[in-house]
Amino acid sequence: MLNKFLEKRSNIILLAIIAVFMESLTSPCLKLGGRYPFLSAGYIGWFCLAVLILGFYAVCWQLILEKLPLTTAYLRRGFSYILIFVWARLIFHETITWKQILGIIVISIGMVVSISDEKAN
């Protein structure tokens, strides 16, 4: 069933987006865990959640790399940097500076240019 799902390129791209989304959640988990004393239940719980997410990500990423060229797959990872800014603002209410916004714009433009180049070929 999984092989049938991964036969369509659009499904592989969807899996890449989901994997990158999940991977971006590890940073907030680790930061939330850091709010607890070292080796406390809260610390271990958040750390274990981050490891579980990374395990899911690793399996998905391996499936993706079997089907997509390395450069195509890694272009999608830029999305995780953007998501981390979203999590920083939504979860931790951190201030986002104009320089960080400029960085997000540069990353986004790079992803769009690279992805549009893929479609042209």
- pLDDT, one tens digit per residue, over 2-52 is 677 677 777 787 888 888 888 889 999 999 999 999 999 999 999 999 999
Q: Helix (H) and strand (E) counts for the chain? A: 7, 0
The span from the CA of 27 to the CA of 106, in Å, is 22
CA distances from 48 to 37, 61, 95, 121 (A): 15, 20, 28, 42
Task: Look at residue 117 and tell me whether its pLDDT is greater than 70.
Answer: no
Count Cβ atoms below 10 Å from residue 117 Cβ, excluding itself: 10
The residue to which tokens 């940073």 are assigned: 27
